[in-house]
Structure 1
Amino acid sequence: MLPRTITLALAATILSVVPAPRASAHGSCTSSAPFVSGTEGYHTFRIPAVVRAANNSLLAFAEGRRDSPGDSGAIHTVAKTSHDGGCTWGELRVVDSNGEATAGNPTPVAARNGDLVLLTVHNGPVSEKAIMSGTVSPQDSRRVFVRRSPDNGRTWTPARDLTATAKLPSWRWYATAPGHATLLHHGRHAGRIIVPANHSSAPPAGSADVGTEAKYYGGHDLYSDDNGRTWHIGFTDDPTDGVLAPNETTATELSDGTVYFSSRNQGSAPENRLDAYSTDGGRTLTRPYQVQPTLSGPKVEGSALQTTNRRVLLYSGPSDPAVRRTMQLRTSSDRGRTWQPSTVLADAPAGYSDLVQPDPFTVGVLFETGVTSAYEKIEFRRLPLYPRPSPVKSPA
């Protein structure tokens, strides 16, 4: 068991606002900005995701939106690599593209065999509303793809279309995560990859609805037991009441192998976060999604991460209940049942985020932020999980 002083180290860190970003030595910086909107050929960078590779490098992913900040159009999945824990980043690489249309929602994970696995979603030059209305062709609707890297992100296999196995015929809208997927390490499903996801369904025959209503949003996950080569749909949760409507979802494995899911609520309930649990590796939920009243914030994506300290479960997301502002960590000591406010990363506009643990002593947050808009840059912030041990001095 970890000493109580170590367990409380993060609590001590989170009682105060993190100092302003500063440049520092290799591996000990506070902040960096891998993606800055208006540079490198892209109008806007959005939708961050981050993963630690088998060689301990970090890969930061984002959507590079070429012409505008909008959710449709020429959108590429891009990536950069860091070999110093997120302090500096290499050159931008386009990992997935779809011509003048969308290839986005990056969802990366390091598989048990050491490969990186990346899921993305494509659609044509059409809007989410048109897709949910069922007025677009199958080719222009949402399609799911996977690619692999055997060399820590240096090269990638061609994209392989998973839509036939990952998306039910009645589903219209579809999105993986976005943010990291999860590799299970504990229990009988160790080695399984879990990808949280959401979808919308077509209205029943004879309904006056068009399909854009919130009640048609639902949650599900995908899982793979062979390092991302074949995939299966796990649980599905379709509330259909319009009050609870699972949308963008994050997942993390708790210390006993239970998978915790936290979802953006697109429904009419005053609470904007939902959560659920699975004890069978994502095949089913122990209960349907329910509101999570202790996670305040606007309707927005968030990220959850169980750290290597089993007592420290983290969530990142904007904490202002009305607008996308004030990126903040929250901590849970009871497996996600309740959450407590913690470190404020910036009292500034903030949007989507993703969490990673670069090393045993550090937590990293990759998040959208800026001075006047949340979409000016994607910043990477490093935070101490607990103190690094002091070097052992040789006897005099």
Structure 2
Amino acid sequence: MLFRASQDPGYACFRIPAVVRAKDGTLLAFAEGRVLNCGDAADIDIVVKRSTDDGRTWGPLRVVNEGAGDTHGNPAPIVDRATGRIWLAETYNTGRTDSASCSVPCDRTPHLQYSDDDGLTWSAPRDLSPEILPADWNSWYATGPVHGIQLTKGRYAGRLVFGVNAETWNGSRITANHAALIVSDDHGGHWRIGATDSWPIADDGTFRQKPSELTLAELGDGSILVSGRETDGTDLGQRTQTTSRDGGNSFTAPFRALPDLYTPQVQGSILRLGDRVLLACPADPDRRRTMMIRSSYDGGRTWDSVDRGTVVTTDWSGYSDLVRTADDTVGLLYEGGAVDARDEIRFARFTEDWLTPRRGPDPVTPDLAPGAHPAAVLGGARRTDGVFGGALAFDGTDDAVRLPYRASLPLGAKDFTASLWFRYTATSGEQPLLWMGGIGTSEPQVWLRGEPANHRIQGLITARDGAAAPRTVSVRTDSAYNDGQWHHAVLRRGGGTLSLFVDGTRSVAADVPGSVSRGSAFGVHIGQRMDSRAFFTGAIDEVHLWDRALTDQELADPKALRSPKDTVVWLPLDRVSR
């Protein structure tokens, strides 16, 4: 561990890591030292520890900026390789004595200080508000928190860049979210706002996106990849990103959320390493745990799925930052703990050889729905005899089928019908048959699973309607149907009800209004929970999804159940190929 309250007296908690390598090779690990409690808006100092041996050992804690009762946080360090000066952008607000968040509107202001001796001493802070705080960014404002970058290529080589996010308050409510890059072309003497992306907030409090906690990497062509946290917007995905091709002056397009990049709502960090870009972020889409390194080999257009990433720890984990060390290893500074992600801040070192090797394409099985691409077959799911020819057998360990994301998969607030055949004999454990959307108690989702210990099959939807809290409804059978025979299950939403049919026997409950695919990371899985914490043991055949409620007559007609009309998913599961 690098920072922990029990070893660093005077602090109740450490959070919000950031790390850079000085020009002489010294590593500087920054954190917020939280004096009274672990809340975000109390008495908070910015602290640092230094390492002169590439992170193997660390010196004592030093206070860079004392809050003295206020919040001084969100460290965003940047190293100027030309001058050797280390800049530290940071954000202030009036401190509280409890652990509550800053009141809205929050009086947040950006500040800047620097070190010319590799982090041993620091200048007095200066207020950057006149340069980078517009009058209408008058509520939340945050620098980083993660390292900024200095560009090395092309017309803007030498430019210093870091990210901020802010909000606008109109006197009665928050009306807009803003994400921006801050740039300096004179080695930190002056700063200005560059690329900016703003997202309006509706009267009911809903919004599409809120890009925040921006992390940056310069790509091989000199463009800047900008990756951010996405929190509570209606667009699917909890990571969002864009690029800049003019040194951070503008974005090439608005931020685009990434539905199939599974993370919880949390900050992350990126770093270019040779021909790949690394992303450090927890991999559990429900909670802050399982810190993972994932790679992109195409400049961030696509990212490794969870099954291809490299696990750093399965403990609780949160914010992070990445750095290249002087010996060409990579350092990861991250929040982690066996009990809570805020227990401590850790430092891990790894080489590229330690990362999971790049894997070729997965085996696939056809999806016959219009416009669909083949689905990935994970683990070692194998062909077996089915109801209509072949089916797939799942081993309960790592076998699954995952559909590639496409815009027609999210069902939103539509009626739908999901149909599949299943066969199993398990007497315990959760047996996921179909999973669509997010996961957890508050994320919109649809699922169907066997629960043999409770002697039932259960179907569930969680939906969100406007700014209202999520609502959940479930339907259950009174048998687990785990007799080793084939059974037909249908989950149908329509006509104000949610119905579950197994072999024609119906269970029904009143529907809840709203979208079953909104805000969260999104995936469609057969035989697997979205968070990979449960896998099906048995066989599944003929998975269909329609974006309408089939009638009782259609459900009783075998031809209708194999018709492509209105089909969103149609997986015969009768063959696997590479």
Matching residue of 1:4: none
**What is the distance in 1 between the residues matched to 2:78 and 2:256?**
26
1:124 to 94, 98, 110: 94
Q: Give the letter aligned to residue 39 of structure 1.
A: Q
Q: Which amino acid aligns with 2:5?
A: S
Provide Cα deviations, 1:64-87, integer angstroms capped at 9, x if missing partner: 001101001110000000011111
Equivalents in 1 of 2:297, 2:267: separation in Å? 22
The corresponding residue for 2:213 is 248
After TM superposition, list the pairs within 5 Å mapping 1:42-81 onto structure 2: 42-81=11-50
Q: How far 1:386 sits from its partner (Å)?
A: 4.5
Corresponding position of 1:34 = 2
How far apart are the structure 2 equivalents of 1:45 and 1:382? 20
8 Å Cα contact 2:276-2:298 kept in structure 1: no
Match of 1:210 among 173, 178, 197: 173
Query: Which residue does 2:250 correspond to in 1?
Result: 284
Q: Is the 8 A contact 2:168 2:177 kept in 1?
A: yes
User: 1:10 — aligned with what?
Assistant: none
Where does residue 149 of structure 1 map in the other structure? 115
Structure 2 counterpart SS, 1:145 = strand
Alignment of 1:183-262 (within 5 A): 183-203=150-170, 210-211=173-174, 216-240=176-200, 242-262=207-227
Counterpart-to-counterpart distance in 2, 1:288 and 1:270: 15
> Per-residue CA shift, 1:45-77, capped at 9, x if unaligned?
000000000110100000000110100111000
The SS at the match of 1:216 is strand
Give the unaligned 5+ runs of structure 1: 1-32, 388-396
Q: CA deviation at 1:197?
A: 1.0
Percentage of pairs with the same residue: 39
Structure 2: distance between partners of 1:120 and 1:240: 26
TM-score of the superposed pair, with normalisation by structure 2? 0.57
Shift of 1:128: 4.8
Matching of residue 326 in structure 1 with residue 290 in structure 2: yes
8 Å CA contact 1:362, 1:386 repeated in 2:
no
- Aligned residue in 1 for 2:442: none
In 1: Cα distance, 2:52 partner to 2:102 partner? 40
The answer (yes or no) to whether the contact 2:244–2:252 under 8 Å persists in 1 is yes
Instruction: Name 1:12's counterpart in structure 2.
Output: none
- Give the 3-state SS of the residue equivalent to 1:164 in structure 2: helix
Which residue number in structure 1 is paired with residue 267 of structure 2?
301
In the alignment, the residues of structure 1 paired with residue 200 and residue 66 of structure 2 have an alpha-carbon distance, to the nearest angstrom, of 34
Residue 236 of structure 2 contacts residue 257 of structure 2 at CA under 8 Å; is this kept in 1? Answer: no
| Higher Rg of the two aligned structures | 2
Q: Secondary structure at the match of 1:35?
A: coil
1:114 aligns with 2:74: no
- Aligned counterparts of 2:350 and 2:7: Cα–Cα separation in 1: 27
Q: TM-score, normalised by structure 1?
A: 0.83
Aligned AA (1:85): D
What is the alpha-carbon distance in structure 2 between the residues aligned to residue 121 and residue 285 of structure 1?
A: 24
Instruction: Give the conservation status (yes or no) of the 8 Å contact 1:128–1:173.
Output: no
From 238, 246, 250, the equivalent of 1:272 is 238
1:295 positional shift: 2.1
Q: How does 1:355-370 map to 2 (within 5 A)?
A: 355-359=322-326, 361-370=328-337
**What letter is aligned with 2:49?**
K
C-alpha separation in 1, matches of 2:83 and 2:101? 36
Counterpart secondary structure, 2:349:
strand
Deviation at 1:114, TM superposition (A): 0.8
Tell me, in whole angstroms, the C-alpha distance in 2 between the residues paired with 1:54 and 1:359: 10
For 1:246, give the aligned amino acid: P
Q: Which runs of 5+ in 2 are unaligned?
A: 202-206, 355-578
Q: What secondary structure is seen at the aligned counterpart in 1 of 2:131?
A: helix
Distance change (3 Å), C-alpha of 1:50 and 1:56: same
The 8 Å contact of residues 105 and 120 in structure 1, kept in 2 or not, is answered as yes
Q: Distance in 1 between matches of 2:91 and 2:323?
A: 22
Matches within 5 A, 1:366-385: 366-385=333-352
Q: Distance in 1 between matches of 2:190 and 2:149?
A: 16
SS of equivalent to 2:124: coil
- The one-letter amino acid of 1:86's match is G
Q: What's 1:313 paired with?
A: 277
Tell me: higher relative CO, structure 1 or 2? Use CA pairs within 8 A at least 6 residues apart: 1
- How far off its partner does 1:34 sit? 1.5
Which amino acid in structure 2 is aligned with residue 329 of structure 1?
I
- The structural deviation recorded for 1:38 is 3.3
Does the residue aligned with 1:188 lie in a helix, a strand or coil?
Answer: helix
Deviation for aligned residue 1:305: 0.7
Aligned-residue offset at 1:39: 3.2
Aligned to 1:28: none
Local SS of the residue matching 1:305: strand
Cα distance per residue 1:373-393 (max 9 Å; x no partner): 001111111011249xxxxxx
In structure 1, what is the Cα distance between the partners aligned to 2:102 and 2:92? 15
Determine the C-alpha separation between the residues in 2 that align with 1:295 and 1:228.
35
C-alpha root-mean-square deviation of aligned residues, in Å? 1.5
CA deviation string 1:178-198 (max 9, x = no partner):
010111111110100111110
